[in-house]
Amino acid sequence: MRIVLLGAPGSGKGTQAHRLAERSGIPQISTGDLLRAAVARGTPLGLEAKAVMESGGLVDDALVLGMIRERLAEPDARAGFVLDGFPRNLVQAAALDGLLAELRQPLDAVVQLEVDPAELVRRISGRRSCADCGRVFNVLTSPPPSGAAAICPKTGAPHRLIQRPDDNEATVAERLRVYEEKTRPLIAFYQSRGLLRVIDAEGGLDAVTQRLAQALAAPAAARPRRAAARKRASRRKPARTAGRRRPTARAAKRRPASRKAPARAARKKRAGSPRARKAARRRTRR
Ligand code: AMP
């Protein structure tokens, strides 16, 4: 299963991608997580990305594409993947198309998670993540559980909750603006490819997980008529190029009469009738 989750910051892509990946036994690939890891390690890529991430902008396409290309080449991605936070603009979407065509691993579905803007801001303000394992919680909507689930799998101690530096009010506003301008056009991009499903991502986590599973089980919404017709027309090939032979003269004789044939035969019969011959003689005499 090769899936892209689309949605604004705070729409729950990360949480739902994590659940879907666990359930399906495939990796969740989040460019945000990969970039944060590079920042934390202080790699050259991380150093370049840090300032842009803190401003709420998009990291350079070439950097992100290089990172994704490497990640998709890892063995665990052969069974499938859930992409979260990538692609983020049309250049990245076209590059992903090309890369997956090269790997002969086309996408199966793209799911857009729809959330009201006011709810997005509320969710982001309550978001906290574990500084050690990166697991995401929300102090307003899904607080860290008690018991064994409260223990960080990396340290064996309770999760250490921190707020992401780019989850502050000013940066969030910029991230939402960038989403509308650069990422929202991907909805039409994937709709025209017949891959898009849209779900209501408000409400409880489990309800959204269920809607996501249903959306993935259902066929994609019909693509817009004009795009579908263009695609059908481009698929139609003349008999020869489609590998079909032209019928031989004998085969043509054996062919059943076309639907037009009876009408043609009736015209011929009328033309040969005594009444028709008489009318024709009268016309030539005039
Ligand atoms: P996220 O965790 O997906 O919200 O991403 C956090 C930040 O990382 C974004 O605001 C961007 O600055 C950067 N980022 C993540 N994914 C991408 C991407 N595909 N292209 C460019 N920048 C990205």
> What is the DSSP code string of the chain?
-EEEEEE-TTSSHHHHHHHHHHHHT--EEEHHHHHHHHHHHT-HHHHHHHHHHHHT-PPPHHHHHHHHHHHHTSGGGGG-EEEES---SHHHHHHHHHHHHHTT----EEEEEE--HHHHHHHHHHEEEETTT--EEETTTBPPPSGGGGB-TTTSSB--EE--GGGSHHHHHHHHHHIIIIITHHHHHHHTTT-EEEEE--S-HHHHHHHHHHHHHSPPPPPPHHHHHHHHHHH---TTTTTPPPPPHHHHHHSPPPTTHHHHHHHHHHHTSHHHHHHHHHHHH-
Cβ(107)–Cβ(4) under 8 Å? yes
Q: Does the pLDDT value for residue 156 go beyond 80?
A: yes
Q: Does the pLDDT value for residue 183 go beyond 80?
A: yes
Q: Where are the domains of the chain?
A: 2-235, 258-285
pLDDT of residue 258: 42
* Contacts with 214 (C-beta within 8 Å, 6 or more apart), sequence order: none
Confidence band for 248, pLDDT divided at 50, 70 and 90: very low
* Contacts with 45 (C-beta within 8 Å, 6 or more apart), sequence order: 35, 38, 63, 67
19 is catalytic: no
Q: Does the pLDDT value for residue 254 go beyond 60?
A: no
69 is catalytic: no
CA distances to 41, 159, 229 from 131, rounded to whole Å, are 13, 8, 50
The tokens describing 233, both together, are 């027309």
How far is CA 61 from its chain centroid? 18
Question: What is the rounded end-to-end Cα distance, in angstroms, of the chain?
Answer: 79
Report which of residues 211 and 285 the model is more confident about. 211
CA 262–ligand 1 middle distance (angstroms): 67
CA 75–ligand 1 middle distance (angstroms): 24
Topology of the domain covering 2-235: Rossmann fold (3.40.50)
Ligand 1 atom closest to the CA of 60, numbered from 1: 21
175 is catalytic: yes
pLDDT of residue 265: 47
Cβ(220)–Cβ(229) under 8 Å? no
Catalytic residue among 19, 175, 197, 211: 175
Average predicted confidence (pLDDT) for the chain: 83
Once rounded to an integer, what is the mean pLDDT over residues 53-65? 96
